[in-house]
Structure 1
Amino acid sequence: MKFVLVVALALAVLVNVGFSKDAALETVSKHGQLSLNGVDIVDEHGEKLQLKGMSLFWDVWMPQYYNKESIDGVHDNCHSNVVRAAISVVTEEDGGYVETPDECLERLYAVVDAAIEDDIYVIIDWHDHAADTHLNYSLEFFDIVSKKYSGVPNIIYETFNEPTGQSWNDILKPYHEAVINTIRANDPDNIIVVGTPTWSQSVDQAAANPITGQKNIMYTLHFYAGTHKQWLRDTATNALNQGLPIFVTEYGTVNADATDPVDEAESRLWWNWLDEHNISYANWAISDKEEGASALAPNTTSIQVCQEEFLTESGRLVVAQNKA
Structure 2
Amino acid sequence: MNIKKNILKLVISSAALLLFCIPIGVSAAEPDYSNLVVSPAEKPSIGGSLQILQQQDGTKTLCDKGRKPIQLRGMNTHGLQWFPAILNNNAFAAVSNDWGANVIRLDIYVTENGYDTDPEGMTAKVIKAIDLSIANNMYVIVDWHINIPGDPNASVYSGAKDFFKKISSKYPNNPNIIYELCNEPSNVDPGISDDSDGWKKVKSYAEPIIKMLRETGNNNLVICGTPSWSHRPDLAADDPIVDSANNTIYSAHFSAGSEDPSPKDATDRTNVVNSIKYALKHGVAVFASEWTPAEATGLIEKGGIYKDSSDCWLNFLNKNNISWCSWSLANNNDASAAFIPYEMGKSKETSLDPGDDQVWSPYELTIAGEYDRARIKGINYEPIDRTKQPFTTTLFDFNNGNTEGFGVNRDSQVKTVGLSNENSALKISGLNKSSNLSIDNFWGNARISTEASNLHEDIKDADSLTMDVITASPTTVSIAAVPQSNTHSWADPKKAVQLLPQDFKLQKDGSYKATLTISSEDCPNIKNISSDPNDSVLTDMVLFIGASTDSISLDNISFSGFHSIDNKPVVNAPVGKGILPSTFEDSTRNGWDWDPSSGVSSQLNLEEANNSKAMSFYVQYPEKKPTDEWTASPRLTLSEINATRGDNNYFTFDLYLKPDVATKGTISFYLAFIPPELGYWALASEQFNVELANLSQAEKTPDGLYHFKVKFDLNKIDDEKVIAPDTILRDITIVAYDKGCDFAGKMYIDNIGFEK
Residue 37 of structure 1: which of 53, 60, 84 is its match? 53
Contact residue 147 and residue 187 of structure 1 kept, 8 A:
no
SS in structure 1 at match of 2:252? strand
Could you tell me which residue of structure 2 aligns to residue 17 of structure 1?
none
Structure 1 residues 78 and 306 mapped into 2: Cα distance closer, same or farther (>3 Å)?
A: farther
CA–CA distance in structure 2, aligned partners of residues 307 and 47 of structure 1? 34
**1:202-244 CA-partner distances (Å, limit 9, x unpaired):** 1121111111243100001001000011242122111110011
Could you tell me which residue of structure 1 aligns to residue 84 of structure 2?
63
Could you tell me which residue of structure 2 aligns to residue 202 of structure 1?
232
Give 1:240-319 correspondences, 5 Å limit: 240-261=280-301, 262-298=305-341, 299-304=349-354, 306-319=360-373
TM-score by length of 1: 0.89
- Structure number with the higher strand fraction is 2
* Pair 1:145-2:167 in alignment: yes
Contact residue 246 and residue 279 of structure 1 kept, 8 A:
yes
TM-fit CA distance, 1:283: 0.4
Structure 1 residues 67 and 175 mapped into 2: Cα distance closer, same or farther (>3 Å)?
A: same
CA–CA distance in structure 1, aligned partners of residues 82 and 218 of structure 2? 32
Contact residue 41 and residue 48 of structure 1 kept, 8 A:
yes
CA–CA distance in structure 1, aligned partners of residues 181 and 218 of structure 2? 15
Moved over 6 A (4+): none
Give 1:157-236 correspondences, 5 Å limit: 157-165=179-187, 166=192, 167-214=197-244, 215-229=246-260, 230=262, 231-236=271-276
* Pair 1:105-2:123 in alignment: yes
Could you tell me which residue of structure 2 aligns to residue 320 of structure 1?
374
Alignment root-mean-square deviation, CA:
1.5
* Stretch moving more, 138-147 or 203-212: 203-212
> What amino acid is aligned across from residue 104 of structure 1 in structure 2?
M
Contact residue 55 and residue 286 of structure 1 kept, 8 A:
yes
* Stretch moving more, 259-268 or 130-139: 130-139
Contact residue 55 and residue 85 of structure 1 kept, 8 A:
yes
* Pair 1:77-2:98 in alignment: yes
SS in structure 1 at match of 2:82? coil
Q: Which has the higher contact order (CA 8 A, sep 6+)?
A: 1
CA–CA distance in structure 2, aligned partners of residues 302 and 288 of structure 1? 8
* Stretch moving more, 212-221 or 243-252: 212-221
SS in structure 2 at match of 1:314? helix
TM-fit CA distance, 1:136: 2.7
SS in structure 2 at match of 1:303? coil
CA–CA distance in structure 1, aligned partners of residues 198 and 50 of structure 2? 26
CA–CA distance in structure 1, aligned partners of residues 369 and 251 of structure 2? 22
TM-fit CA distance, 1:161: 0.5
**1:64-107 CA-partner distances (Å, limit 9, x unpaired):** 1123222112112222000001011011xxx2111201110111
Contact residue 168 and residue 205 of structure 1 kept, 8 A:
no
Contact residue 252 and residue 272 of structure 2 kept, 8 A:
no
TM-fit CA distance, 1:151: 2.1
CA–CA distance in structure 2, aligned partners of residues 195 and 121 of structure 1? 19
Contact residue 77 and residue 307 of structure 1 kept, 8 A:
no
TM-fit CA distance, 1:135: 4.5
Contact residue 336 and residue 368 of structure 2 kept, 8 A:
yes
**1:240-263 CA-partner distances (Å, limit 9, x unpaired):** 100111001100000011221210
CA–CA distance in structure 1, aligned partners of residues 79 and 336 of structure 2? 13
Contact residue 291 and residue 327 of structure 2 kept, 8 A:
yes
Structure 2: stretches of 5+ with no match in the other structure = 1-37, 55-59, 263-270, 342-348, 379-756
TM-fit CA distance, 1:308: 2.1
Contact residue 78 and residue 319 of structure 1 kept, 8 A:
yes
- Structure number with the higher helix fraction is 1
Could you tell me which residue of structure 2 aligns to residue 9 of structure 1?
none
Contact residue 168 and residue 206 of structure 1 kept, 8 A:
no
* Stretch moving more, 66-75 or 32-41: 66-75
Contact residue 67 and residue 107 of structure 1 kept, 8 A:
no
CA–CA distance in structure 1, aligned partners of residues 352 and 160 of structure 2? 29
Aligned residues: 300
CA–CA distance in structure 2, aligned partners of residues 151 and 213 of structure 1? 15
SS in structure 1 at match of 2:185? coil
Structure 1 residues 268 and 240 mapped into 2: Cα distance closer, same or farther (>3 Å)?
A: same
> What amino acid is aligned across from residue 211 of structure 1 in structure 2?
I
Could you tell me which residue of structure 1 aligns to residue 70 of structure 2?
49
Asked which structure has the greater CA Rg, the reply is 2
CA–CA distance in structure 1, aligned partners of residues 256 and 199 of structure 2? 28
Structure 1 residues 286 and 169 mapped into 2: Cα distance closer, same or farther (>3 Å)?
A: closer
> What amino acid is aligned across from residue 89 of structure 1 in structure 2?
V
Contact residue 66 and residue 108 of structure 1 kept, 8 A:
no
TM-fit CA distance, 1:182: 2.3
SS in structure 1 at match of 2:315? helix
TM-score by length of 2: 0.39
* Stretch moving more, 169-178 or 180-189: 180-189
